[in-house]
Amino acid sequence: MRIVLISTPIGFLGSGKGGGVELTLNSLVSGLLSLGHSVEVIAPKNSKLLESNEKAKLYFVDGEDQISWQHQNYNSPVIIPDNSLLAGMLEKGLDIVKKADVLINMSYDWLPIWMTLNVEIPIAHIISMGAESLVISNLISKVYARHPYNFAFHSKIQADDYPFIKKPIIIGNGFKLDNYTFQDSTKGPLAWVGRVAPEKGLEDAVYVANELGEKLKVWGVIEDEIYATKIEQSFPQGTIDWMGFLSTKELQKELGKCRALLNTPKWNEAYGNVVVESLACGVPVIAYKRGGPSEIIQHGQTGYLADPDDKKNMLSYVKNIEKIKRKKCREWVEKNASTDIFANKVVNWLNKVIHEYK
């Protein structure tokens, strides 16, 4: 297949602003290339693909970012800025796809989904979030009625946010295992990885570390400075060890030294890339039983699922972390979330989408 991909309209690839979509895109490109497909990616100016994805052709578009939907009200209208990056990427995609088989849209936004109703080109949407916007959910419902195969989700629990989707197509996610080294360090610090923003619940992980009289190592882009400062001020100075935003290569090296990852989502996390990345390094994960992580973590085998928002319950599981075998964590990723497994699921889905247009 010849596949064209549109990246997220929030931050360039490599900036971290696009969250998990940046890594998911790279994993998908790796998997599709290794299955022998041709891949072209349309992404914001300054974007970089992983070195191993150099066979994919990269097109740059310059323009204004979209506002991320998780930071707008559920009832907000769609905002499209002047010189819209999203519109520019879509325009380019619709042009290139004339000589290709399918256009994959990785932005969670209105315009590309609406366009599906207005062109005879298969546009396949990887929905990267739960229902964060009424206007988008209603549009997905409308497009789904005409094109029931054009949407895929990362987890069943994410798809539940869209109850009108009768048989959701679940593609999971994939990780390039060569990029993660297994480390058997059971005595390391506690880790937290993610965008520092309210929906990620960092404060609960800091609480757990502080109760144990430990520091918490935190990696990720600080998306909301006010929120970050507020958490910092609520705990003794130095409880948070801010480690910044690292490339996958550097992040996994440091993360692998930790004894557990705490994952504290306050929203219906679509998947939770950081959970699987941690497991790939051999680091067990203690997460709230909510969203994607609740489908990924095998309670008592690869980590623990704590009652949502119950910090004390999470704390009690940290004390039992040595019961988890780190090798089992890595094995789960190898068996369930490699780039090849992911790309095969996506290709099966794309075949269904394309078939509908013939």
Nearer to ligand UDP, 149 or 219 (CB): 219
CB of 157 to ligand UDP, least distance (A): 14
Burial 235-263 (b: 16+ CB within 10 A, else e): eeeebbbebebbebeebbebbbebbbbbb
Burial class, 178, CB count within 10 angstroms (exposed 0-12 / middle 13-18 / buried 19+): exposed
Torsion of Cα atoms, 22 then 25 then 31 then 35, to 10°? -160
One-letter amino acid at 76 equals S
Task: Give the residue with the Cβ less far from ligand UDP, 33 or 281.
Answer: 281
- For residue 158, give every residue at least 6 positions away whose Cβ sits within 8 Å of its Cβ, in sequence order, or none: 127, 129, 130, 268, 269, 270, 271, 291, 292
* Contact status: 281 vs ligand UDP (CB under 6 A): no
Q: Does 12 bind ligand UDP (CB under 6 A)?
A: no
Q: Can residue 338 be called a binding residue for ligand UDP (CB under 6 A)?
A: no
| Chain residues 310-329 in contact with ligand UDP, contact rule CB under 6 A | none
Cα 210 to Cα 353: distance, rounded to the nearest angstrom = 50
| Identified binder of ligand UDP from the candidate list 175, 271, 288, 349, rule CB under 6 A | 271
List Cα–Cα distances, 59 to 10, 41, 44, 291, in angstroms: 16, 6, 8, 33
Tell me if residue 123 falls in helix, strand or coil. Answer: strand
194 binds ligand UDP (CB under 6 A): yes
x/- contact string, 247-266, with ligand UDP (CB under 6 A)?
-x--x---------------
Among 277, 287, 288, 337, binds ligand UDP (CB under 6 A): 277
Are residues 44 and 67 in contact, defined by beta-carbon separation less than 8 angstroms? no
**Binding span for ligand UDP by CB under 6 A among 38-46, 97-105, 267-275, 346-354:** 267-275
Q: Find where tokens 């819209």 sit.
A: 84
> Is the four-CA dihedral 19, 22, 27, 32 of positive or negative sign?
positive
Nearer to ligand UDP, 10 or 353 (CB): 10
Determine if 28 is a binding residue for ligand UDP (CB under 6 A).
no
Nearer to ligand UDP, 139 or 274 (CB): 274
The stretch among 98-106, 205-213, 269-277, 302-310 that binds ligand UDP (CB under 6 A) is: 269-277
Question: How many residues form the binding site for ligand UDP (CB under 6 A)?
Answer: 18
Q: How far is the CB of 251 from ligand UDP (least distance, A)?
A: 5
User: Taking CB under 6 A as the rule, does residue 19 contact ligand UDP?
Assistant: yes
- Strands 38-44 and 123-127: what pairing? unpaired
Tell me 238's DSSP state: T
Kindly list the residues in this chain that would bind ligand UDP in the complex (CB under 6 A).
16, 19-20, 23, 193-195, 219-220, 245-246, 248, 251, 271-274, 277
